[in-house]
Amino acid sequence: MARIDPIARAQAMRERGTDPQVPYPGADKPWAGICQTCQQETRSSYTSVVTNGQGACFHCGQRKSSQAAAEKRRVSSEVAEGVVRAVGAEPLEPFPGTHAVWRCRCQACGREIDVWYSSVAYAGNGACLYCSGTMRIPDEEARAEMLALGLEPLVAYPGLNSKWRSRCLNCKKTVDPTLSNARKTKSKCRYCAQRATDPETAVSIMEDAGLRPLEPFPGSVTAPWPAEHEACGKRVEPTLDKVIQRRRAPCQHCARFGFKPDQPGYLYLLVHEEFGAGKIGICNENGERIRAHERKSWTLVHQQLLPGALALGAEQLVLDRWARLDLAYGVAKSDMPQRGWTETVALIDRDEERLRQDFVWAVAVASGQLT
């Protein structure tokens, strides 16, 4: 049996990267030493290091393993650029790696953005927080973009994916696309896209105007279309083109919401700042109509107590004036569950001062003070 030489075995350990700190303990026992590379303590046995050829230092072994794994996962600049371009971003600087933000430009909205490669490559997320709606763009910037798309906003910017009541600069009709959809669609206005005259859409337009069709769509926007005026239940025969232009149904004697012309009544004027709209209306002296609107954030700016018949006539004078001016409704049917959307206008078309003038003029004419 060969004699074991502790000095030779210590030298063998040194040659493999660790300096023994204690006498030789035996072939299979941990041998305390110091790693020549990282200066960390080692505890590997002579058998594992010399006989089996394993590394002497656990810490250096872990580091090499991590480096090898990182190299295996490394993404080349060419691959990374292809990935971000595929999701609509153009790099503005060299690829910084998968663990740093990458300055790019969004190809859709043109803004400079910070992209996490792993977010778009592995999680499947979009590159631009502005286009996704996660990050809100400034209101004035949104308005300028909408105008550039051919739509004039009628109310404040509600957010990228919320309906934005606007007027088409081409046909002057009111539409409510989201800014997100307006960016993507070829035709921003459903009327200009000639989708307003198919039967389903035609019925929807009539219903939004407070009219319930009594017969199928006649096939022409200029043909009379029998319908029921929901506010009073009376039969009217408007043409679809006039309804599309937001003209009121011809119902001169409409007693809306139980209004009694033989009793005193208020003519009132309301505004809604969030909707950017004004509203004319009537209610009897002891009615709850004004309070019902106030509960929905409408603000009373003017009211006048009149004989009921005069209040009804004054309201109709205002509505007729708005119709002759071809003013769009200020709100949609869905904005007023308490009803009354057909007596509204957008403040961008008729500011509060002009609405007050309409009010005073109508009272004077209905009362016989003006002709």
Question: Do the beta carbons of residue 233 and residue 251 sit within 8 Å?
Answer: no
The predicted structure's pLDDT at residue 247: 46
Q: Which of 51, 50, 20 is nearest to 36 (CA)?
A: 20
* Residue 95 to residue 77: CA distance in whole angstroms: 6
Q: Which of 157, 202, 151 is nearest to 173 (CA)?
A: 151
The predicted structure's pLDDT at residue 325: 84
The predicted structure's pLDDT at residue 158: 87
SS3 (DSSP) at 115: strand
Q: Which residue has 């198919």 as its token pair?
A: 198
Question: Do the beta carbons of residue 108 and residue 131 sit within 8 Å?
Answer: yes
SS3 (DSSP) at 256: helix
99 CB-near residues (< 8 Å, 6+ apart) = 118
* Residues 244, 250, 256, 259, Cα dihedral to 10°: 150
201 CB-near residues (< 8 Å, 6+ apart) = 190, 195
Backbone φ, ψ for residue 256 (5° rounding): -75, 140
Reported pTM = 0.47
Using CA atoms, how far residue 354 sits from 61, 171, 298, 312, 349, in Å, is 82, 24, 18, 20, 10
The predicted structure's pLDDT at residue 256: 54
* Tens digits of pLDDT across the chain (371 residues): 467 888 888 899 899 999 999 899 988 999 999 998 888 899 989 899 888 988 888 888 888 776 666 555 678 889 999 999 999 999 999 998 888 889 999 998 888 989 988 888 887 888 888 887 777 888 888 899 899 999 999 888 888 888 888 888 887 777 888 888 888 777 778 767 655 567 887 888 788 778 899 999 888 777 888 998 887 788 888 888 777 655 455 554 554 556 788 899 999 999 999 888 999 999 998 888 899 999 999 999 999 999 988 998 899 899 889 888 878 778 877 788 888 888 898 898 899 999 999 999 999 999 888 76
* Residue 342 to residue 319: CA distance in whole angstroms: 9
